[in-house]
Structure 1
Amino acid sequence: MLKIMLSTLVSTLLVAGAAQASRLIEPLSEVTVAGTGGEWTTSTITVGGFNLPYQLYTPTTEASGKKLPLIIHLHGSGEAGTENQKQMMVGTRNGPQYFVLPEHQKLQAAYVLAPQTPVEIRWASTGIPEYNLDTTPETVSMTALIALMGELLKSRPDIDPDRVYLAGLSRGGQGVWNAALRHTELFAALVPISGSGSPNHADRLKNMAIWAFHAQDDRTTRVEYTRNMVDAIFHAGGSTRLLRYTEVEFGDHQAGWDTAYGNSQVYRWLIKWRR
């Protein structure tokens, strides 16, 4: 059952229970841009003729010889495109900006990956509602993302493969659920925000560290979509040691990620997990 703990702004629901084919990969030219305490590098990966733009944050760290986490953030529909900029959410503290905040990088230096899908191609499924994973093919965006992860793990030996974290909002939240359902073995922890999933397959995530967020009054993506995933994980044997669900009491769609990225709790929770 769900245990609801209400505060003035947020009700936190703690759930009492929580073959990749070989493809052509063609990395393109890179441009380096100054970042907060590190550098953002812009690039593109081409997989099977599909181009996936992305930016990669490389932290400035004196932790020589120590492996660092990789945090991947998947954007929402408002940040979709091919210009390799909107997904950065510059001018906010959301998404990629949240993970490179000085206080967070000081707490734990980490690589941050911010890929971008075109408007017409989602991270998962073909629309906002829940879907059946068995009858929904993997999108080319998701295929390219998984290939990119593999390339980064090979080319950056200081990335710890046991500390790869995935977060995302709106269509990106849907992408987080989808990536973990299809490639559970790749991730140490997830932060899906305001997105839908495939509840009939949620048993695959019962041993995964997850902190999900959604606003009760979300008029874009129904709150039931996250509730259904959380409930399904619980019924499959999930536990509160691994699974958290924060349901924002007031606010529309954006309230989900404004809450998740509003303080350092998510970052502190995320970096403690290992695969």
Structure 2
Amino acid sequence: MTITRRQLLTTTPVLLSACAALPPAPPQGLAAGEQRPWQLEGVRFWIWLPREYGQRTEAWPLLVFLHGSGERGTDMEKVKVHGPPKLVAQGADYPCIVVSPQLEDNLRWDPERLHKLLAALKARLNIDPRRCLGTGLSLGGFGVWQWACAHPRDLAAIAPVCGYGDPAKVAAMRDVPVRAYHGDQDSVVPLAPHAACVEALRAAGGTASLTIYPGVGHDSWTPAYNDRELLPWLLAQKQT
């Protein structure tokens, strides 16, 4: 059968449209519905791709979880002892991409390094740039406050747990909503500076809440990450 130039011109747009509609497949080494180790920009991390990743064209929200000081090192299994990576390992079906990086020994979370990691993730995955979210506990709580202050356009919202930022700098992130958590008996990271950050952000015109757990010490992350309203709240946030 001979295909005329006219037939080719009329069918090509249809073929291109069909190709454009194909959902992007997971990068090599990753699989939808599984939490696997990966590395970008010199950062090791666990990554969870939703079960429907690769089946739909719509971009996905991204949740970045920053662990505490006790999970630093080279044993990536330690990253899964708390928070979202732990819940995913236990069978939680997160409807978003979840990235849980690991810090090397004795290091702290660096906003510039996180900024570069986010750019690399956006370049390789089907991520909605308006719905990138951050959460972290203890050292990771400090990390998400600092990240949002340094690069407020990176994150649509943050959920810091038992970690605080610099009240003098939070005005820079007034457009980043905050849902914070802390125990009132925390002897490792005191509650008062966290409350001061939340109040400073409100005073600067931002939106922030602080859930305080009575009688709870440093482990406010267990009730925080079991808060059934946390994930829906995060996923509802979107940059304008």
TM range (shorter): 0.7 to 0.9
Residue 54 of structure 1 corresponds to: 45
Instruction: Give 1:170-185 correspondences, 5 Å limit.
Output: 170-185=138-153
Residue 96 of structure 2 corresponds to: 110
Residue 263 to residue 213, structure 1, CA distance change in 2 (3 Å):
closer
Which of 116, 121, 125 lines up with 1:147 in the alignment? 116
Residue 24 of structure 2 corresponds to: none
CA apart distance, 1:196: 2.2
1:68 aligns with 2:36: no
Amino acid at match of 2:33: G
CA apart distance, 1:95: 3.2
**Larger Rg computed on CA atoms:** 2
Residue 217 to residue 79, structure 1, CA distance change in 2 (3 Å):
same
Determine helix, strand or coil for the equivalent of 1:199: coil
Residue 10 of structure 1 corresponds to: none
Determine helix, strand or coil for the equivalent of 1:154: helix
Instruction: Give 1:141-220 correspondences, 5 Å limit.
Output: 142-156=111-125, 158-220=126-188
CA apart distance, 1:231: 1.1
Amino acid at match of 2:66: L
CA apart distance, 1:58: 1.1
Residue 261 of structure 1 corresponds to: 225
Residue 15 of structure 1 corresponds to: none
Counterpart contact for 1:45–1:144, Cα < 8 Å: no
Counterpart contact for 1:99–1:267, Cα < 8 Å: no
Which of 216, 219, 231 lines up with 1:251 in the alignment? 216
Normalization by structure 2: what TM-score? Answer: 0.81
Q: Which runs of 5+ in 1 are unaligned?
A: 1-29, 124-138
Partners of 2:147 and 2:170 lie apart in 1 by 12
Counterpart contact for 2:184–2:191, Cα < 8 Å: yes
Q: Alignment RMSD, CA only?
A: 2.1
CA apart distance, 1:205: 2.3
Partners of 1:85 and 1:100 lie apart in 2 by 10
Which of 70, 79, 103 lines up with 1:78 in the alignment? 70
Partners of 2:178 and 2:89 lie apart in 1 by 21
CA apart distance, 1:145: 2.3
Partners of 1:218 and 1:77 lie apart in 2 by 16
The number of equivalent residue pairs is 211
Residue 7 of structure 1 corresponds to: none
Determine helix, strand or coil for the equivalent of 2:34: strand
What does the per-residue CA deviation read over 1:63-104, in whole Å, with 9 as the maximum and x for residues that have no partner? 511111010000001111122221122xx6x33234677665
1:122 aligns with 2:84: no
Determine helix, strand or coil for the equivalent of 2:76: coil
Q: Which runs of 5+ in 2 are unaligned?
A: 1-27
Partners of 1:230 and 1:100 lie apart in 2 by 32
Residue 273 of structure 1 corresponds to: 237
Residue 268 to residue 99, structure 1, CA distance change in 2 (3 Å):
farther
**Greater relative CO (CA pairs within 8 A, separation 6+):** 1
Residue 95 of structure 1 corresponds to: 84
Partners of 2:180 and 2:88 lie apart in 1 by 17
More strand by share: 1
Partners of 2:88 and 2:210 lie apart in 1 by 20
Structure 1 window deviating more from structure 2 (77-86 vs 226-235): it is 77-86
Which of 217, 223, 227 lines up with 2:191 in the alignment? 223
Partners of 1:228 and 1:171 lie apart in 2 by 17
Identity of aligned residues (%): 28
Amino acid at match of 2:215: F
Residue 162 to residue 71, structure 1, CA distance change in 2 (3 Å):
same
Partners of 2:93 and 2:211 lie apart in 1 by 21
